[in-house]
Amino acid sequence: MGGDAAVLNATRNVMANNSTKLIDESTFAGPVMVILAVMMVTLVVVTISGNALVIFAFKVDKSLRRQSNYFFLNLAISDFLLGVFCIPVYIPYILSGRWMLGRGLCKLWLVMDYLLCTASVFNIVLISYDRFQSVTQAVSYRAKQGMSRPALGKMIAVWVLAFLLYGPAILFWDLVSGQSCVPKEDCFAEFYYTWYFLLSASVLEFFCPLISVAFFNLSIYLNIRRRRLGSAKPRATAKAEVSSPAESVRLSSLLYRHSPLFTCKKAAAAAVAHEEEDRGSLGSRASSPPESRVGSCGGPRRGSRLSRDRKVAKSLAVIVCVFAVCWAPYTLLMIIRAACQGHCIPDHWYEVSFWLLWINSAINPFLYPVCHSSFRHAFAKILCPGRRKSSRHLGKPP
């Protein structure tokens, strides 16, 4: 017991010294404080407005209520609450260097901050897994789109797991140890310098999600590449047969002219020509692209699906990069800082990495839903209702 008390006292002294240093470094000059305050408030406004737009679009547009889009809603809710509560409460603390809201609100803020950040990460993994299924298991995936109950179960599981990762430790660490190590003028978790706990939690909060998202992205890329190569082989075989002697060319031409593919293409070309005549007489009427009509012959529709899946792979690649950039500095510095008891990492670097987590919540509503046409159309209906009505009016025939 004596040894544990000595370790506890040493840890408390380190925290007190670092707390005093943080207070000294957090008292900014007037102009610097104004600039920082403006930047933080801007981040709050962007985070709240972007995620509120996603939530509102999901509410007003019933076409968005599919299983895959529920995960975007779950992500927007976690990031929205982060902008409404966690960031605004932290702004006075970082500018003044002192926590003035009491221990009860400190614990509530810590629980909410860790919960919402972790839920945001788990939602990103869930979205990536959903995109992975949409590409690799397309038939069964489309059959489940109308089922909302499995999606709601996954959404609830995200919040439960996110709370269990840090919530009990934040609430009961000081009760189990018998006393608190956090100074009264500060607000951080009791395990702030417990490196083995932070390392274990970081594996579940960052390293496993990063590996999972990277695996889903790589699997989607390999699947698209395999399908693209598979569709290229028949075209190469057909090209080799066309380059045969003249008799074979003539015979192939005759066979092709009587084939269903030629008939389908010929009908599609006639339909396009007929529609062009109608367009000239009736004005600017919207028409569907020729690829959608020729799609019944098998070729272009498959190409359009490959093109759509390539966009999914590119969006997931961006997701991996943004997620790694926003979370890797904080995770690594947090573990190193705990291992060296705060003596090897300057406080300002830790603060920069900490704000990167919240910047990720501001980026998410632009990075995820905006990359999908269904959300873009819903945003257009909300933000530009007058433009949509005028375009409908112009599109009507006289």
The answer on pLDDT for 105 being more than 90 is: yes
379 and 76 in contact (C-beta within 8 Å)? no
Q: So what's the pLDDT on residue 306? A: 66
Mean pLDDT lowest among 116-125, 175-184, 200-209, 365-374: 365-374
pLDDT in tens, 289-311: 444 434 444 445 556 666 766 66
349 and 53 in contact (C-beta within 8 Å)? no
Q: Percent of the chain beyond pLDDT 90? A: 28
The answer on pLDDT for 42 being more than 90 is: yes
Q: So what's the pLDDT on residue 10? A: 47
All residues at 6 or more sequence positions from 332 whose CB lies less than 8 Å from its CB, including other chains: none
Residue 212 — very low, low, confident or very high, per pLDDT cuts 50/70/90? very high
Q: So what's the pLDDT on residue 170? A: 94
Residue 26 lies in a domain: yes
The answer on pLDDT for 94 being more than 60 is: yes
The answer on pLDDT for 93 being more than 80 is: yes
Residue 230 lies in a domain: yes
DSSP state string for 264-317: HHHHHHHHHHHHHHHHHHH-S-----HHHHHGGGSHHHHHHHHHHHHHHHHHHH
244 and 340 in contact (C-beta within 8 Å)? no
Structurally, the chain folds into a number of domains equal to 1
Residue 314 lies in a domain: no
| Amino acid letter, residue 158 | V
Residue 394 lies in a domain: no
pLDDT in tens, 226-240: 877 776 666 656 555
The answer on pLDDT for 254 being more than 50 is: no
Give the mean model confidence (pLDDT) for residues 172-191: 88
Question: Phi and psi dihedrals of 225, rounded to 5?
Answer: -65, -40
d(CA 99, CA 185): 5
Question: What does the angle CA 51 – CA 55 – CA 58 come to, to the nearest 5 degrees?
Answer: 140
227 and 306 in contact (C-beta within 8 Å)? yes
Residue 162 lies in a domain: yes
The answer on pLDDT for 23 being more than 90 is: no
d(CA 229, CA 235): 10
Q: So what's the pLDDT on residue 292? A: 40
Question: Which of the two residues, 208 and 347, has the higher pLDDT score?
Answer: 208
Q: So what's the pLDDT on residue 289? A: 42
Give the mean model confidence (pLDDT) for residues 134-159: 82
pLDDT in tens, 309-340: 666 667 667 777 888 899 999 888 888 888 88
Q: So what's the pLDDT on residue 113? A: 95
Average pLDDT taken over every residue of the chain:
75
Residue given tokens 């926003």 in the structure block? 326
Q: So what's the pLDDT on residue 253? A: 53
Residue 120 lies in a domain: yes
Q: So what's the pLDDT on residue 303? A: 60
Residue 316 lies in a domain: no
pLDDT in tens, 6-17: 444 444 554 444
CATH number, domain with residue 180 = 1.20.1070.10
d(CA 240, CA 68): 43
Q: So what's the pLDDT on residue 64? A: 83
What residue numbers bound the domain in which 231 lies?
2-238+347-386
d(CA 27, CA 98): 10
Mean pLDDT lowest among 89-98, 169-178, 213-222, 384-393: 384-393
Q: So what's the pLDDT on residue 109? A: 95
d(CA 104, CA 159): 22
39 and 344 in contact (C-beta within 8 Å)? no
Give the mean model confidence (pLDDT) for residues 94-121: 92
d(CA 356, CA 121): 13
Going by the DSSP 8-state scheme, the letter that residue 65 receives in this structure is: -
Residue 185 lies in a domain: yes
For 305, other C-beta atoms within 10 Å of its C-beta total: 15
